[in-house]
Homo-oligomer: A and B are copies of this chain.
Amino acid sequence: MARAGLTTERLTRAGAELADEVGFDQVTVSALARRFDVRVASLYSHLRNSQDLKTRIALLALEELATRAADALAGRAGKDALTALANVYRDYAREHPGRYAAAQLRLDAETAAASAGGRHAQMTRAILRGYHLTEPDQTHAVRLLGSVFHGYVSLEMGGGFNHSAPDTQETWSRVLDALDALLRNWPAPATPSTETVTGAFPDGP
Q: Is the CB of A151 within 8 A of B159?
A: no
Q: Is the CB of A143 within 8 A of B165?
A: no
- Interface secondary structure of A, over-half rule: helix
A44 sits at the interface (CB 8 A): no
A147 in contact with B151 given A164-B139, A189-B174, A190-B177 (CB within 8 Å): yes
Q: How many copies does the complex hold?
A: 2
Q: Which residues of B contact A205 (CB under 8 A)?
A: none
The chain B residue with its CB closest to the CB of A112 is B159
The chain B residue with its CB closest to the CB of A188 is B177
List the interface of chain A (C-beta within 8 A of B).
25, 79, 104, 106, 121, 135-137, 139-140, 143-144, 146-152, 154-155, 158-161, 163-166, 168, 170-171, 173-175, 177-178, 180-182, 185-187, 189-190, 193
Q: Is the CB of B79 within 8 A of A175?
A: no
Q: Is the CB of A143 within 8 A of B158?
A: no
The listed residue with most B CB atoms (<10 A of its CB), out of A136, A174, A181, is A174
The docked-state distance in angstroms from the alpha carbon of A154 to that of B154 is 10
New A-B contacts (15) at CB < 8 Å, excluding given A106-B158, A185-B185: A79-B193, A121-B163, A136-B165, A136-B170, A139-B165, A140-B170, A140-B178, A143-B161, A143-B175, A144-B148, A146-B151, A147-B151, A147-B155, A151-B154, A178-B186
